[in-house]
Amino acid sequence: MAGFNMLLLKTKQGDTEAMEILLNSYKPLMLALSYINGVFNEDLYQEFQIIFVQIAINKNFS
């Protein structure tokens, strides 16, 4: 499997497959944060995914 940095670079270049792998690896974190008072909040989860995509594409970590 490709390294994290490579996946991030590919994501910035518009590779949807790389984006999917990254999204899936952070899915548990986003799911865990999407619970409010023990109830899963679908809207919040979707907003988290949007934030994830924005950070993965726009932010530079190297």
Partner 1 sequence: MKNTIYRNDGNSDDYIIQNKFTAYLTSALMGHKSRYLEKQATIDKHEFLTAEDETYFMGNGFESEIEQIHTFTDAMFMIENNNLRQFLTGLKERQFKILILRVIFELPFSQIAFIMNEKESKVKNCYYYIINRHEKEERG
Candidates 60, 59, 30; CA nearest to 47 is 30
Whether the CA torsion 54, 14, 41, 26 is positive or negative: it is negative
CB of 13 to partner 1, least distance (A): 16
| Contact (Cβ atoms closer than 8 angstroms) between residue 56 and residue 22 | yes
- The answer to the question of residue 30 lying near partner 1 (CB under 8 A) is yes
Q: Of 29, 31, 46, 57, which one interacts with partner 1 (CB under 8 A)?
A: 29
The site for partner 1 (CB under 8 A) is made up of 1-5, 7-8, 21, 25-26, 28-30, 33, 36-37, 39-40, 42, 44, 47-48, 51-52, 55-56, 59, 61-62
